[in-house]
Structure 1
Amino acid sequence: MQVSCRLRGGGRSHRSGSRGHVDTVLSALNGLIWSKALIALCLGAGLWFSFRTRFMQVRGFVEMTRLTFSGKSSNAGVSSFQALAMSMAGRIGIGNIAGVATAIAFGGPGAVFWMWVMGFLGASTSFVECTLAQIYKEKDAEGRYRGGPAYYIEKAMGLKWYALAFAFATLIAAGLLMPGVQANAIADSIVNACRGGSVCGDLSGEILGMPAATALKAGIGVTVAAMLAVVIFGGVKRIARFAETVVPFMAIAYILTAVVVMVANIDFLPTMFRIIFESAFGAHAAFGAMLGLAVEWGVKRGIYANEAGQGTGPHAAAAAEVSHPAKQGYVQAWAIYFDTMLICTSTAFLVLATGMYNVVNPAGGMLHEALPGVQAGAGFAQAGIDSILPGWGAGFLAVALFFFAFTTMLAYYYMAETNLTYLNNHVSRPGRTLLLRLAITGMVIFGAVRSAEMAWMLGDIGVGVMAWLNIVAILILQKPALQALRDYEQQKKQGLDPTFDPDRLGIRNADFWRKAP
């Protein structure tokens, strides 16, 4: 799940009337939820879990890589790789392009280093929350695996109201608010690619009484909604199959593009790395004054991009068919590396290796301005590609953003459906599921033609509430995940393919894993 590339809580004009007051209240609430306290909590949790797991993200790197590409699906669950692809569909979104560029603009090149730090620490956080999701998963009425924070909060903490609060926040944020924003990004990127070209015709006139660009966006919204409906009406299995095919393709294509750009600027690479590390610690002459901002924006972007601790990844993790919960915990830890160290880093290198980025001076003006008039966002990456492959930047970014945003919408739907099932007392109700599917496709059409500013704000609030609720929960509930890790490692030392017995470990309410008497 990707959040907006706006500078939270700042740079917003005040509009008159009730809409302006609503925006002011929502902006203040958004700034409160996504304050430095949440950033510190995420960073602290990553440090704590790294020590508690004895840095499993280092010790277990070979094992997590092996498990990522092994395992099989079943009638009830998907394979480990399919679960990984489903979670990656939510992690890899428009924020991996526009968001990383924003971190560089407001935090300087050093933000990239702190983004790496957050990715490294976040791997352990992801292990804990996704292992918990596996331990406390269950089968729904149709025999499919379901799980996530709402499930482990209720079963392990015994706080039904707490679980309901998380499920409701996720349903609203993922099911109603965020899909439209992704659709808006798709529509905007395609319109931008068409401007000045002959593929889409003249966009300066009118079609059916509305501006041509708006009509084009409406058509894009309907098309994307129809494509989304084809996938989500096929259920979790179809979502998993689509994700495991599309997610690797789009990620590899994006990474290869970044590699091409870096190779073309290979003479500048040593300088680029020097700038990153020097500005990360305030040693660079131009960006030294931005040390605090580099840490803040790097950590913030790392949290937003890899989603470790936000409670999004556990939904897909619970759907995996594995013999031991720690297996999927390992796989989801690997997902953090892939998202941050490869996808986000690709964007960073696209803009830094080419010098196609601006850096905002905290005191006003610009510290570095290579692109006059270009706002922080996808335009940085577009300019980087165009510097090597003239004329390809806008088109390639439109394609990349389409795949990134479309697969993110699929992940949103799956999270919303899982929490709707929880709110329905763990039972799938076809009528309500149909309403959710219609609502999310409707929001895609609506979001494609409308401004996404308020939707972003509301969606950010929903995701922020999810993060607060989930991180506090996993800090309290970490013990079963740590027990599962030790149990897995002990069985591996014995040469076994680990299996899980919660009764032997003294873990209660893990009913799915209990052996029949």
Structure 2
Amino acid sequence: MFDTQIEWLVEKLWSTPMVALVLLLGVYFTIRMAAPQILRVGEMARLLIGGTGSKQGVSSFQAFAMALGGRIGVGNIAGVATAIHFGGPGAMFWMWMTAIVGSAVALAECSLAQVWKEEVHGEYRGGPAYYIEKGIGWKWMAIAYAAAAVFACAVTGPSIQAFSIAESVDVAWGIEPWITGVFVVILFLAVVLGGLKRIGLVAGLVVPVMAAAYILAGLVVLALNADAVPGMFGLIFASAFGAESMFGGMLGAVIMWGVRRAIYSSEAGTGSGAQAAAAAEVSHPAKQGLAQGFSVYVDTLFVCTITGLMILVTNSYNVENPDGTTIIEYVPGLSAGPAYTQTAIDTVFPGVGSSFVAVAMFFFAFTTLLSFAFYADTNVAYIVRNPRWERICNRVMVFVLAGSILLGSFRSSDVAWNLADLGLGLYTWINLIALVLLSGTAIRVYRDYVRQRREGRDPVFDPEDVGIHNAPVWAKIRERTESDRVR
């Protein structure tokens, strides 16, 4: 009964209105900001390596890596396989579309997080809870977001990450899930208890290396199946619009699963990446907004796409109708998840797929767990303003998250995915409503950045220039920036 109720809630949260709202917001920001995610791709990449950290904040790249660590997780391997299983090959197209418009949403929310960030115990903190209170003035809504985010990051979110690590390790090396769970918990605590700087350092080292290795492996699989690539893309585009007869009756599922998994993987519109963005030391909010917009591309257009193409080009998948009947069964008896990707790699490198995916899954999911700890910490800091109680609550939260990791190793895949979707859906709805209400502000902030760039200046943010009068942290940042220029 519990599982059924959770599934019902997930279906309500991830219904057509959410899909429509994410896509419409993305299109709106794309039009009003003149397609920055397309016309400023080079600038996005350049901003990743510019600037350095400070006592208060991490570097732009470390903030990008923390956000990317949160974005790149099991959704990039198991999630893509699930989307293909329930939505067919056409789900890939809708993942791409969601990523392109979602990049503009990420730019907006991460810029807002920078505008209204705060200095908490000498470190920058920010995100939806902070910009909802200061930008909209609805403290009740800000608390609701923070509470939902803590619940999702500490309780429901870790389940699917931990389960996927344990499952892939079990398949690859036959190690019992409880052993894997204990190992992950110990390593997790060793990093997280070192604070923001250690999380940023680990994410900055691990995420780029693992993502590059995974993409390279995928390109090799595609190259060795080059003759099947044109037909595969034809199948993707035909299936995306119901033109392929086999998938003609599941167009709704194709779109829903493509968008849902893209949102879960990229986190565009959820506000998660915005919390990492707020921790960066930059001279203008839009700089980190652009950098974080690029992270959506890395996550979905690069990593998720590689997973999907490997699975499709090697026919390592099954497709199931919404009514439970089987449409395609290329790998009989194989359940949707990491096994699809493992099978795809095994077709090229026999016996290697299970081990490679297990290693990739471990690092992808582990860095996501580190990001969860940071996000939960940020929202606990917002709710509990008393320094002493905040430290106590944060320690409790860390150990609750560790417990969720351990328990998640034993949960079934369906329950784990539903719990993850439940937590994510709760705070995503709140953030999407906030983005609608603050869309004008986000656009003004971005246009202020563009104006200064056209004038040949390195943009420096002054909140007063865009009509914002309650962002005191930026007065200090401006003073430091001007002082550095003089020196």
Answer yes or no: same fold by TM over 0.5: yes
Alignment correspondent of 2:484: none
User: After alignment, is 460-469 or 277-286 more displaced?
Assistant: 277-286
Task: Find the residue that maps to 1:359 and give its secondary structure.
Answer: strand
Matches within 5 A, 1:401-416: 401-416=361-376
Q: Give 1:219 deviation, angstroms.
A: 2.1
Alignment correspondent of 1:486: 447
Deviations 1:96-144 (A, max 9, x none): 111111211222211111110110000100011000000000101x210
Conserved 8 A contact 2:159-2:419: no
Q: Provide the aligned length of Structure 1 versus Structure 2.
A: 477
Q: Give 1:288 deviation, angstroms.
A: 3.4
**CA–CA distance in structure 2, aligned partners of residues 313 and 484 of structure 1:** 18
Deviations 1:166-208 (A, max 9, x none): 001111110122224322221121111124xxxx6xxxxxxxx
Deviations 1:415-453 (A, max 9, x none): 000000001127473222222222222222232244465
Conserved 8 A contact 1:177-1:456: no
Instruction: Say yes or no: does 1:37 pair with 2:20.
Output: no
Instruction: Say yes or no: does 1:167 pair with 2:146.
Output: yes
Alignment correspondent of 1:185: 164
Deviations 1:363-385 (A, max 9, x none): 65333221111122222111111
Conserved 8 A contact 1:91-1:339: yes
Instruction: Say yes or no: does 1:440 pair with 2:418.
Output: no
Task: Find the residue that maps to 2:242 and give its secondary structure.
Answer: coil
Decide whether aligned partners of structure 1 residues 80 and 280 sit closer, same or farther in structure 2, where only a CA change above 3 A counts: same
TM-score (norm 1): 0.89
Conserved 8 A contact 1:113-1:298: yes
Decide whether aligned partners of structure 1 residues 27 and 386 sit closer, same or farther in structure 2, where only a CA change above 3 A counts: same
Matches within 5 A, 1:384-395: 384-395=344-355
Decide whether aligned partners of structure 1 residues 176 and 288 sit closer, same or farther in structure 2, where only a CA change above 3 A counts: closer
Instruction: Say yes or no: does 1:295 pair with 2:255.
Output: yes
Task: Find the residue that maps to 1:400 and give its secondary structure.
Answer: helix
Instruction: Say yes or no: does 1:499 pair with 2:460.
Output: yes
Instruction: Say yes or no: does 1:279 pair with 2:207.
Output: no
Which amino acid letter does the alignment assign opposite residue 440 of structure 2?
K
Alignment correspondent of 2:336: 376
Q: Give 1:226 deviation, angstroms.
A: 0.9
TM-score (norm 2): 0.94
Instruction: Say yes or no: does 1:68 pair with 2:29.
Output: no
Instruction: Say yes or no: does 1:250 pair with 2:230.
Output: no
Conserved 8 A contact 1:64-1:330: yes
**CA–CA distance in structure 2, aligned partners of residues 54 and 342 of structure 1:** 23
Deviations 1:252-291 (A, max 9, x none): 1111111110011011111111111122222234333433
Matches within 5 A, 1:1-16: none
**CA–CA distance in structure 2, aligned partners of residues 442 and 108 of structure 1:** 35
Conserved 8 A contact 2:319-2:327: yes
> 2:431 aligned to 451, 470, 480, which one?
470
Instruction: Say yes or no: does 1:92 pair with 2:53.
Output: no
**CA–CA distance in structure 1, aligned partners of residues 70 and 119 of structure 2:** 23
Moved over 6 A (4+): none
Alignment correspondent of 1:137: 117
**CA–CA distance in structure 2, aligned partners of residues 47 and 455 of structure 1:** 32
> 2:8 aligned to 19, 25, 28, which one?
28
**CA–CA distance in structure 2, aligned partners of residues 383 and 169 of structure 1:** 37
User: After alignment, is 359-368 or 335-344 more displaced?
Assistant: 359-368
Q: Give 1:455 deviation, angstroms.
A: 5.3
Instruction: Say yes or no: does 1:119 pair with 2:80.
Output: no
Task: Find the residue that maps to 1:178 and give its secondary structure.
Answer: helix
Which amino acid letter does the alignment assign opposite residue 50 of structure 2?
S
Instruction: Say yes or no: does 1:219 pair with 2:179.
Output: yes
Q: Give 1:91 deviation, angstroms.
A: 0.6
> 2:131 aligned to 152, 156, 161, which one?
152
Deviations 1:297-342 (A, max 9, x none): 2222222221110111110000000000000000011011111100
**CA–CA distance in structure 2, aligned partners of residues 229 and 23 of structure 1:** 30
**CA–CA distance in structure 1, aligned partners of residues 321 and 411 of structure 2:** 32
Unaligned runs of 5+ residues in structure 1 are 1-19, 201-215
User: After alignment, is 38-47 or 156-165 more displaced?
Assistant: 38-47
Q: Give 1:476 deviation, angstroms.
A: 0.3
Decide whether aligned partners of structure 1 residues 30 and 285 sit closer, same or farther in structure 2, where only a CA change above 3 A counts: closer
Deviations 1:134-168 (A, max 9, x none): 0000101x210000000000001111111001001
Conserved 8 A contact 2:74-2:160: no
**CA–CA distance in structure 2, aligned partners of residues 299 and 453 of structure 1:** 19
**CA–CA distance in structure 2, aligned partners of residues 229 and 43 of structure 1:** 37
User: After alignment, is 313-322 or 89-98 more displaced?
Assistant: 89-98
The answer to which structure has the higher helix fraction is 2
> 2:267 aligned to 307, 311, 325, which one?
307
**CA–CA distance in structure 1, aligned partners of residues 420 and 319 of structure 2:** 27
Conserved 8 A contact 1:182-1:406: yes
Task: Find the residue that maps to 1:234 and give its secondary structure.
Answer: coil
Decide whether aligned partners of structure 1 residues 45 and 427 sit closer, same or farther in structure 2, where only a CA change above 3 A counts: farther
Conserved 8 A contact 2:163-2:416: no
Conserved 8 A contact 1:149-1:311: yes
Task: Find the residue that maps to 2:347 and give its secondary structure.
Answer: helix
Decide whether aligned partners of structure 1 residues 181 and 360 sit closer, same or farther in structure 2, where only a CA change above 3 A counts: closer
Alignment correspondent of 1:343: 303
The percentage of aligned residue pairs carrying the same residue is 47
Alignment correspondent of 2:38: 58
Conserved 8 A contact 2:159-2:420: no
User: After alignment, is 176-185 or 501-510 more displaced?
Assistant: 176-185
Task: Find the residue that maps to 1:287 and give its secondary structure.
Answer: helix
Q: Give 1:26 deviation, angstroms.
A: 2.5
Decide whether aligned partners of structure 1 residues 103 and 456 sit closer, same or farther in structure 2, where only a CA change above 3 A counts: closer
